[in-house]
Amino acid sequence: MSDLVPQYAWINGSLQPLREAAEIVELRRAVESFACARRAERHPVEVGEDLRELRHLIDVLELDFSRRAAAYAATDQAEREGSATPQDWIRHECRMSGSAADAAICAGEQVRALPQGEQALEAGRIGFGHFTLLARTARALTSSPSAEPFDERPLLAQALAHSVGRFRHDCAHARHAADAQAALAEHVDVVEARYLELRTGEDGAMFLRGFLDSVGGATLRTALEPLARFAGAEDTRSRGRRLADALVELSSHALDSGAVPATRNVRTHLQVTATAETLSGAAGSPAGELEHAGPVPAATVQRLACDAGVTRVLLDARSAPLDVSRERRLPASATRRALLARDRGCVWPGCERPAAWTS
């Protein structure tokens, strides 16, 4: 590790060098010595024991960091240094995420109210992840006017027995049992915060970014998981690819089945504009134009036209429409019925989609 440059700050009206706490200096030397030490090959069982002990030491340091973070947050020093909040200062200066900074401050603020939890962490019986969940629950319930006085013991017993992931559920149940109205209010706030952004790139590809509440997320996952299942030995797609394909398939089925509301009395669906040359795959023909995406290859136009309503539009030299034909269905209804009767569903190996989900 590189030597730290001496820092100065205005203290009591004058510029003074910042004195580092002696215990921090000693700790850094110990960490530097540990990090720079050469290590011999060790048996995986021994490495596992090292990991357990290292994690415990880190947890103890995390708790000490939290105490200091809470003490810092109780002052106006962050505002004096130009930060909006203590969390914001810690996030930037300590290179942490906003949620991690908030968790640290919360844990430090609640540590005196959780003496048994503090002892359990220092003894290595729970981790810092358990403690932050315990602290958040204590903060929520002690600030609620309708909740009973907080008792850490029942939740601590669950923390001792459960993983951090399961303990998160334990805390949620405890908060609901103590104050159902507050739990509902939090859930409503999360619902109000959900959003979805669709950003189209230069090539027409789409980037998705969003946030869903627990019920909304569960609804989406429940709809996608059956469509994203592994389809056999020939299915080499990653799970992420299968989920993306499932989202597209779900959207396509909603359009095909008429579940999406009509627009101006016309059934909502993909709209592709292409020349006859593009549709026939003639050499030198331009790309097709897909609404909301831009130019697409002729092969994509032909694939989409395999199951589409086609309208012919004749234009004059000035691109003014001369004639607009009635929409013609491809394939014809009789042909489609024959295919459905023959195949009774998707013919891809390993796929069990019903006929209504095929094109």
Determine, yes or no, domain membership for 109: yes
Lowest mean pLDDT among 96-100, 144-148, 299-303: 144-148
**Strands, E, within 285-326: which ranges?**
288-290, 294-296, 308-310, 313-315, 321-324
- Residue 52's pLDDT is 96
Which range in 199-203, 221-225, 335-339 is most confidently predicted, on average pLDDT?
A: 221-225
Same domain, yes or no: 64 and 132: yes
Q: Please state, in angstroms and rounded to a whole number, the distance separating the CA atoms of residues 297 and 42.
A: 57
Please indicate, yes or no, whether residues 98 and 141 belong to a single structural domain of this protein: yes
pLDDT tens by residue, 2-56: 444 456 666 666 656 666 788 888 999 999 999 898 888 889 999 999 999 999 9
* 110 plus 247 within the same structural domain: no
* Residue 175 and residue 47 in one domain: yes
Token pair belonging to 264: 């101006």
Token pair, residue 121, equals 């962490």
Do 89 and 133 belong to one domain?
yes
Same domain, yes or no: 156 and 69: yes
Residue 206 structural domain:
194-267
Q: Of 211, 238, 267, which residue sits at a domain end?
A: 267
Answer yes or no: is 324 within a domain: no
Residues 261 and 128 in one domain: no
- How far is residue 277's CA from residue 301's CA, in Å, rounded to a whole number? 11
Q: How many domains does the chain have?
A: 2
Give yes or no: residues 151 and 199 share one domain: no
Q: Quick check: is 11 in a domain?
A: no
Most distant CA atoms of the chain, gap in Å? 90
The reply to whether 77 and 198 lie within a common domain is no
Does residue 357 lie in a domain region? Answer: no
Q: Are the CB atoms for 358 and 345 separated by under 8 Å?
A: yes
Query: Is residue 222 a contact partner of residue 238, using CB atoms and an 8 Å limit?
Result: no
- Domain boundary pick from 156, 190, 224: 190
Residues 184 and 94 in one domain: yes
* 338 is a domain residue: no
285 close to 275: Cβ distance less than 8 angstroms: yes
Question: Does residue 30 form part of some domain?
Answer: no
Q: 346: pLDDT confidence band, cut at 50, 70 and 90?
A: low
Q: Flag whether pLDDT at 224 surpasses 90.
A: yes
Both tokens assigned to 296: 């697409």
Domain shared by 162 and 217, yes or no: no
Q: What is the pLDDT of residues 42-86, one digit of tens each?
A: 899 999 999 999 999 999 999 999 999 999 999 999 998 899 999
Of the residues 190, 206, 221, the one at which a domain ends: 190
Q: Rounded distance, CA 81 to CA 76, Å?
A: 9
Residues 168 and 203 both lie in one domain: no
What is the rounded (10 degree) CA torsion for 297, 303, 306, 311? -20
Question: What's the mean pLDDT in 311-334?
Answer: 64
Indicate whether 165 belongs to any domain. Answer: yes
Per-residue model confidence (pLDDT) at position 347: 61
CB 191 within 8 A of CB 219: no
Report the candidate in 144, 219, 152, 150 with the shortest Cα–Cα distance to residue 181: 144
Q: Is the pLDDT of residue 133 over 60?
A: yes
55 falls within a domain: yes
